[in-house]
Each structure stands twice: as structure tokens, then as C-alpha cells.
């Protein structure tokens, strides 16, 4: 009796089984955090970069402090504080990390143009002149293209989010139309200049229908469908304060990922509370636990894997209670900062949370870039 056909069949089945197992053990996305420290000290900054260098294969460099409009438009030297920040970031990141560059054209309200990046040496008359310009004016467009280009040349990123959190439902319609026109001019100029580099805008994930409508309007100006997700603050299932991710609406993430199935998916930034959240000025009173934080990380990583996401960014690796106190003492604290204070993989005392174990398990999977 000839056993060769049976042998070949078994070998073939074994091959496909091993291939399938290897596929399940990989991940489609790079994983990283921002260098946001637990406090604004040399020690905590070093710890933030140590986490990036040992626990991530991507670093997210996030610029949300305004735009040096005049310097960028006229191709002048950039503000010294900005130059020093770039040098510090580059010096403290080990070679080989993939880089996400995120630049916000909007201020923290996410419905108004970013203010002037200021070191205190720019005359008020200059700032006021730029503040009076329309969002889609040629000067603003060119200044922003030049600014993003300068950051790209400095950091050599693998991905660029050039429109952080662009879909707030409370946009004034006239202002949003100008912002959309701004993006329609910035996007092609950046793509021509850097044809091989993905440029995208990010969409905040929440359930107000207008947020999805505005996101859909911006699809022509983005290479990826990229999300910014902090569901604990607004998801409908947390109306009574319970933030258990198992209670999320079934289409919570898929509604956004399905906006354009032909565009790659990305998690541009996310995080989840591991402690209770109380911000009376925002009428926020939410329950957080380390177990729910871990469950959220697992849930979103699994979804990202199912959609073959390109990147996954957790915003900060450690709680920054101390950093909030430093900002408070300097008169710089806003209640908004409290939203993300307790989302770290380590608590404020440096004790690891269960989500860190899950992060490491996903990191152990080889990334398929």
C-alpha cells in the first residue's frame, strides 16, 4: 500500500496549522506611548523614555502647544524651546523605534485654531494679527505645511497625524467648513512633498451621530481611519458611572472603522481609567478599576488586530498625579488634565497594574509591518 499521499496530506495540514498558529501569534500594529511623564522632573522624564525604549516598538511624539506661525511661514529659526524639545526627544529615544508624529492644528477645545507657540518673546501685535486670519487663509495653510514639514524632517516619522481630534460634534458649522477647507489644502501639499508617508487626521470615538457625520466629511483628507478613544468619560453604558467595557455598545468602535474599509485602521491614542474619576466641573463621576482597564486594553487590541491596524498608542504609561500638582502650583492646571490622570499602566506610586501584563503579552507577538 502506498502511504505517500496520506503522508503528504498530513504534512500539508500540519503546515497550514503551523502557519495559522504563527498568524495568531503575530500582531498587525506597532505599539507605543507618548513621553508624557508622571511629573516634570528629570527622573520622571527618564522613566518615561525607559518605558518607551524597553516596552514599546513605537514612540508617539505629540505636539499640542500651538504653532509658530510667523517663523514657519518665513522659514525662520524655530523657537528655542521647540528646538530643545526636539533634541531631547531624539537624544532619549533608542534607534529602531517607529515614530508617530501627531500635530494639532486645533487648540484644546478641538473646535478652534491652535494658538501661537509662544516663548514670551513674540509681540502681542504679531499674535493678534495671526489670530485674526481665517483658518483657510493662504498664510495659515503655508505656515502649517511648513511647520509639519519641519517636524517631519527633524523626526523622520513613519506616520503623521496632522489633524488631531478633528470631529467634535459641537463645531460651529461655518468654522468647521473653513477647517475642512484648510485640510483640503494642507493634505495634498504634504502628500506631494512626502509621497511615501501616511498622513491622517484622527477621529474622537463617541456616540453622538454628528461626530460620525463630520468624520465622514474628512475622509478625502486622510490616509487612515484613525481613532482617539477615551470611552470611560462618555460611553452610553457608563451613564450611571459604571465603566465596565463589557457593557459597551457592540458597534462602538466598528462604526468608525467602517467609515472606509479601504483605508487602514489605526488607534492614534487611547487610555482607560484604573481609578475612580471625579471632575465636578464637567459633571463627571465615573468608577474605574484596574480590572476594567485591563479588559479595555484587551478589547481594543483584539479589535485592532481584527481590523489589521497599523499602530496602537496608549497615551501615558504612568499616572501623573504628581505632574498635576506641579501644574497646579505653576498656575497651569486645567480640570481637563484630570481626565487622563489615572490611566497609566503604573499607578502614581509606581506599582504595576494588570494592564501592563496584557501590554507585554501583545508586545511579545512579532509585529507584521
User: How far is it, in rounded angstroms, from Cα 323 to Cα 335?
Assistant: 13
How far, in Å, CA of 189 to CA of 183, rounded?
A: 10
Question: Residue 24 has what pLDDT?
Answer: 59
pLDDT of 119: 77
| Interatomic CA distance for residues 190 and 145, integer angstroms | 7
Q: Which of 274, 275, 276, 265 is nearest to 300 (CA)?
A: 265
Sign of CA dihedral 86, 92, 97, 103: negative
Give the HSE-up count for residue 355: Cα atoms under 13 Å, Cβ half-sphere: 30
Count the helix, strand and coil residues of the chain and give each as a percent rounded to the nearest 5: 45, 15, 40
Measured at the alpha carbon of residue 206, what is the angle toward residues 147 and 303, in degrees to the nearest 5? Answer: 90
- Identify the structural domains of the chain with CATH numbers, from first to last: 29-363 (3.20.20.80)
Whole-angstrom distance, CA of residue 68 vs CA of residue 116: 6
Contact between 32 and 310 (Cβ < 8 Å): no
CA angle 336, 46, 100 (to 5 degrees): 60
pTM comes to: 0.93
* 3 state DSSP class of 306: helix
**Cα distance between the two ends of the chain:** 47
Q: What is the pLDDT along the chain (369 residues), one digit of tens a residue?
A: 444 444 344 444 444 444 444 445 899 999 999 999 999 999 999 999 999 999 999 999 999 999 999 999 999 999 999 999 999 999 999 999 999 999 999 999 999 999 999 777 889 999 999 999 999 999 999 999 999 999 999 999 999 999 999 999 999 999 999 999 999 999 999 999 999 999 999 999 999 999 999 999 999 999 999 999 999 999 999 999 999 999 999 999 999 999 999 999 999 999 999 999 999 999 999 999 999 999 999 999 999 999 999 999 999 999 999 999 999 999 999 999 999 999 999 999 999 999 999 999 999 999 997
Amino acid at each position: 500500500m502506498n502511504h505517500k499521499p496520506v503522508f503528504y496530506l498530513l504534512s500539508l495540514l500540519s503546515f497550514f496549522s503551523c502557519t495559522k498558529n504563527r498568524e495568531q501569534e503575530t500582531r498587525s500594529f506597532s505599539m507605543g506611548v507618548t513621553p508624557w511623564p508622571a511629573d516634570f522632573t528629570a527622573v520622571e522624564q527618564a522613566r518615561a523614555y525607559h518605558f518607551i525604549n524597553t516596552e514599546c516598538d513605537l514612540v508617539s511624539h505629540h505636539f499640542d502647544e500651538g504653532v509658530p506661525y510667523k517663523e514657519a511661514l518665513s522659514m525662520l529659526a524655530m523657537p528655542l524651546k521647540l528646538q530643545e524639545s526636539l533634541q531631547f526627544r531624539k537624544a532619549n529615544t533608542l534607534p529602531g523605534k517607529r515614530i508617530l508624529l501627531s500635530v494639532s492644528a486645533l487648540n484644546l477645545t478641538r473646535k478652534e485654531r491652535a494658538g501661537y507657540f509662544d516663548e514670551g518673546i513674540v509681540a502681542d501685535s504679531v499674535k493678534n494679527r495671526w489670530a485674526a486670519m481665517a483658518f483657510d487663509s493662504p498664510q495659515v495653510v503655508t505656515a502649517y505645511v511648513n511647520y509639519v514639514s519641519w517636524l517631519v524632517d527633524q523626526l523622520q516619522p513613519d506616520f503623521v497625524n496632522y489633524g488631531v481630534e478633528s470631529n467634535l460634534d459641537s463645531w460651529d458649522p461655518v468654522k468647521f467648513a473653513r477647517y475642512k477647507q484648510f485640510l483640503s489644502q494642507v493634505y495634498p501639499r504634504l502628500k506631494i512633498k512626502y509621497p511615501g508617508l501616511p498622513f491622517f487626521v484622527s477621529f474622537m470615538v463617541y456616540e453622538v451621530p454628528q461626530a460620525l457625520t463630520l468624520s465622514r466629511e474628512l475622509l478625502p483628507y486622510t490616509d487612515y481611519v484613525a481613532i482617539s478613544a477615551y470611552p470611560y468619560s462618555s460611553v452610553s453604558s457608563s451613564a450611571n458611572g459604571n465603566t465596565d467595557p463589557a457593557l459597551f455598545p457592540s458597534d462602538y468602535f466598528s462604526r468608525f472603522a467602517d467609515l472606509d474599509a479601504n483605508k487602514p485602521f489605526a488607534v492614534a491614542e487611547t487610555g482607560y481609567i484604573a481609578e475612580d474619576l471625579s471632575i465636578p466641573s464637567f459633571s463627571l463621576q465615573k468608577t474605574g478599576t484596574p480590572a476594567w482597564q485591563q479588559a479595555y486594553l484587551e478589547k481594543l487590541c483584539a479589535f485592532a488586530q481584527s481590523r489589521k491596524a497599523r499602530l496602537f498608542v496608549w497615551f501615558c504609561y504612568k499616572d501623573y498625579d504628581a505632574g498635576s500638582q506641579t501644574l497646579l502650583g505653576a498656575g497651569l492646571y486645567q480640570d481637563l488634565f484630570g481626565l487622563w490622570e489615572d490611566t497609566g499602566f503604573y499607578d502614581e506610586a509606581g506599582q504595576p497594574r494588570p494592564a501592563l501584563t496584557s501590554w507585554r503579552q501583545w508586545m511579545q507577538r512579532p509585529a507584521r509591518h
